[in-house]
Structure formats: C-alpha cells, structure tokens
Structure 1
Amino acid sequence: MLSCAVSINAAQVNFTGGTSSTLYINQVNAFEFNSVEYNLHVKDFALVSPEANNGEELIYLGAYQNIGYDPESDMNTIAVDLQNLNTDQAVTAGVSLVLSGGRKMTWDLTWDTSVALNSIVLFGLVDDQSLIINGSNVNLSNSSSDSIGLNIIHSSTQVCGFALPQYSDDCRTDRILGINRDVEDEWGDIVSSNNPIVNYLSGETDLKITSFNGAYEANDFVIGIETTAVPVPGAFLLFSSSLFLAFIRSKMGASSL
C-alpha cells in the first residue's frame, strides 16, 4: 500500500505598501508539531501546521473594507491573485482559502488553475458578500455550492475578522476560529472573551488555519504558491520543500473601527 509523508512550510506573507496599526501578516504556528509550545499556540491563536490538515494549507485573508470604501457603490472590490510559482508550472499541493469582509464586499479571485485550490469559505459581517472567479460571478444564494470544481461555502453567520485574536465587538475573529481568552472588562472584572466557546469555522470545514493575514483596509492580496507533490517510486509520497509567498499589495488605513 502506498503511504505518504508530508513536508510543507506555512505561508510566508509580505506586505508591500502602506502602514497600519492593525496589520497581521504571516501569522503561523512555527513551533515543532505537537510540542508543548505548538499546542499552546493552537490554544491561544487557533493556528496549526499543515501537518494537522494532512498537508493542506488553509490561508485566511481578512479585511474590514477596501481602501476608499464607498457605501453607495455596488463595486467595493478586494482582488485576490492566486499564482503558481513553480518554474515548470507543475500542479501544487492542496490549498484552501477563508475570505472575511466587514463591509459590503466583492472578492475578485484570479485563479491559476494549476494551483490545487480545493475550497473557499466566506464570512461577512453583512450579507452583501459576493465572489468573482476568473471573471465569472459565483452564485452565493445557496450556503454551499460547487463552482468550477471548487467547494464554495458562504456562511450564513454574520461575522467578520481581520485581527488575531480579535479587534472589536463587531469583528470577532475569536468566534470564527474558536479562541477563548480571559480579558478585563470596563469594570476591572476578568471575563471570558468567547464563552461559551463558539467556533464558526469548524461548522463550515474540518480544516484549520495555517496562515492568518488581515488588515482594516486592503485592496488586493497576491498569493504565490510553490508547493509541488513529487512521487517517490515504490515507497511513499513526498511533498517537495515548499514556500508560500503571499504579497498583500495594498495601502492600509490607519483608521480603526
């Protein structure tokens, strides 16, 4: 029987323009898999190694709004460019995305189909989230759909998250990811931030986040994938040394909620 071993590095994210006090780039769990430190990081931030997903990356992209957001416009867009950086354009290892917006948002995904994109989960603080893939509008009227071979899930829960573990009372990353912390309230009492513990993501997918990226404002995310599945004769399957280079090309607003 063919067995497999998986070796995949977590996403590497670089922000290429602007500044923000609420910028979260390349948040990963870099500790040794299943070590004490690793498990504590899972508890505090809900971030795992791809090993926990059988080698698949689940990349989180969150923004409260695009730069220059116009509440009267029907097209407030954040672009996501998913590229294959393998020099021979070999099909990459598995990738899935979480897209989380605060305002009315159109996520415009340009997808190089040699990237093995499996699923997309959308969360929005308002219902008016929409998705375009390679120039075609995706019907999100159903909570789950299969479009262009992808499993696309539009969560019915009205929630957003662009900061880790959370940023404000209306954008609750902790409830999306199932994080609970003891915090001090305005009267000085210690209370739980997410009690009883809510985990909206677990209701939509069995995968866990391997890379968290978010900002209050962003216009586009560029994600370059360089992970190739390479068969090894007669024994097992190895995934070559891999690197996700995700570039968020946007100007970040220094504003806050």
Structure 2
Amino acid sequence: MSAALTPFVARLSAYDLGPDPAGAHRGLPSSTVSITIPGHDSLDIGWAGRPGSRRRLRAVVAGLHLHAAELRQQGYARGVWLTLSPLGVRALLGLPASALAGHVAELADVVPAMADLPERLAACRSWPERRALVERRLLDGLARHDGRADLSRMRATLAALSGTGRVREAAELLGCSRRHLSGTVRAELGVTPKEYQRLVRFETARGRLVAAAGAGEISLAAVAAASGFADQAHFTREWRSMAGCTPTEWLRAEGPDARSQKFKTSPPLGRTMGT
C-alpha cells in the first residue's frame, strides 16, 4: 500500500463469505469506518434484530456503530472490503466520521467521485488490479481533500483514549478538561469518549477471541481479563449488547471453524471480512 495511505487505511482486502446461498455476515462494531463493495450484486443491509431497517445498497459505507449490522449478499459473496481510521474518513472522503456515525449509506451518496467504483472493480480481472484501482481512488481523495493537514492533535486524542480505560485519565494526559475532550470527540467521531473506548475494547477482545479459537485454546475468562473487562460475565454481557449474541454463538456462526466449513468445497478468493 502507498505510504501516503497507511496512516488512514486500516485494511484493504478481498472478502469472501463462501458459497452460503444467503451470504449472511454479522458486521460487528469496531473503531473504524468500513466500505464494502460487492463484486456484482448489491448488498441487503440493516441493523441486526431490526427488520424494518433493511436497505439494498450497491456499495456500503458504515460509520462507527455500537450495535451489530447484518449484511446479506446473494450467490457467491465476494468483493472488496476496506476500513478507514476515523482520521482517514476526513482525509480521504472529505467529511468527519461524525457525519456517518450510526448510519449505513450508499458510497455514491457519500463520495460522488467514487460512484463508478463498483462497476470499475467488477470489470477488473484480478485482485492486484482491483487493489491498485482502489488505492488510486483513495489517493485522489487525499489530494482532493488536503488530507495531509495537521491531524496530530486528534491522533493524540484517540491514542490517549485507546491507552486508558478512563476518560478522566485520557483528559489528564492531553492536558484538557473532560468537557473539552467530550466535545472534540463528539464533533469528529459522532460518539462519546466512553463509547469510543467501548469500541476499542470490543475490537481488542474480538481479535483475542479469534486468535484463541484459531489456536484451539478458547478461554473466555482469559480473553475478558486481557481485554480489560471485570470478569467473564461482564465480557459476555458487553458482547451480547454490541454483537447481538454471545461470544460462543458468534464463534459458532462466523469463527475460524465455521469459515473452514464454508470453504471445504470452494476455497476463498481472499480474506474474509472481520467487521
């Protein structure tokens, strides 16, 4: 990836949800903003447990959210998936992450200059060609929105919030009041400092849970302790609140073992989606 994009793009990869006719995937909360561009068909997306929220979109931009989304793609569900840091949203798309918080939107509506990207990607013959096309469009956005402007203060703010579990301690590290910190974070991200910390902790726990499952050494108590939860019960409650299911239920449906079962008859094109 271009060095100019690395501060802003957390991940750019092919995704493959396997040959499941429903092509269902639970989009879990995270500290990044995601863009999902299916290969040929549109996506049916909505908030898990809220049937009336479903929409069909050709390419999806999902802002920071504290509850799970559900994506469905007909046929063999393949496409391109990228995640942007909150700072990357402003630098590459030209708007603050707060404008997208709690929402899913059509990429063409958020960034009109990228309206033709799904069709252009569908015409590509290989993953390197698709990746190069996406990078070029992101670099165009960086130049268009002057994304190299000084973002050091907000970067320091997010680092402070990620490095401690208490908003007060983060404010002290930054040398500002809690009220000032809250106003700054809300304006840029669309969530409170505490909500951002919840997203970071949940994302960290998910990574540890997947790693433990892949190693065949799952201990919810160990994951909870390492991720900053009071105990396993606290971890499970928080996971259910944000994912709409228990950690065990999620692993059974979308963990490493579930994915390997999906791909027994047809190997994946690339990495599966993580959010």
TM-score over 0.5 for the alignment?
A: no
Report the TM-score, using the length of structure 1 for normalisation. 0.32
Report the TM-score, using the length of structure 2 for normalisation. 0.31
Q: More strand by proportion, 1 or 2?
A: 1
Q: More helix by proportion, 1 or 2?
A: 2
